[in-house]
Amino acid sequence: MFISRQSFSWRALNFAIALAALTGCANEHVLDQPVEWRSGAAVPVDLAVPHLAGAVGERITVIGVPRQREGRCSGVQPLTPQDWMLTGERHCLWVSGLTDQVRLLDLRPGLSDDPVTVTGRLLRTEQGVYVLRIER
């Protein structure tokens, strides 16, 4: 069977559009689902941040890429000058305190993109900023 170049391009374009639409729908569906804060189960920061209001005061575990002050979180360190950020592709969460895993990393952008898992108690400051405080 002979397929013209023009016909092939049209089919490829339709396929690409359909794939993009399905992928976008799938990602949106996952982000809209409620998050289960199970003990020991790490939730990616991009999925966690939209659902933090319901977890204030609870002990939660979040995974993301650590950064100093150069991440996507707005404002300055909310609790201490040593606060740092846990970042994802879209969202960011302030973290107060260090874990052994993070203490050994250089948190400046571009030096380490290895994700870390952090467990702590979620707080909300008077300014409305969410902070995960690591408890020892």
Residues in the chain: 136
pLDDT (tens place) for every residue of the chain, 136 residues total: 455 544 445 455 444 444 444 444 344 435 566 777 787 789 999 999 999 999 999 999 999 998 887 777 888 889 998 899 999 999 999 999 988 777 766 666 667 788 999 999 999 999 999 999 998 7
pLDDT at 38: 80
List b or e across 87-100, with b for residues whose CB sees 16 or more CB atoms inside 10 angstroms: bbeebbbbbbbbbe
Residue that the structure tokens 């939209």 belong to: 50
Phi, psi torsion values for 50, nearest 5 degrees: -65, -15
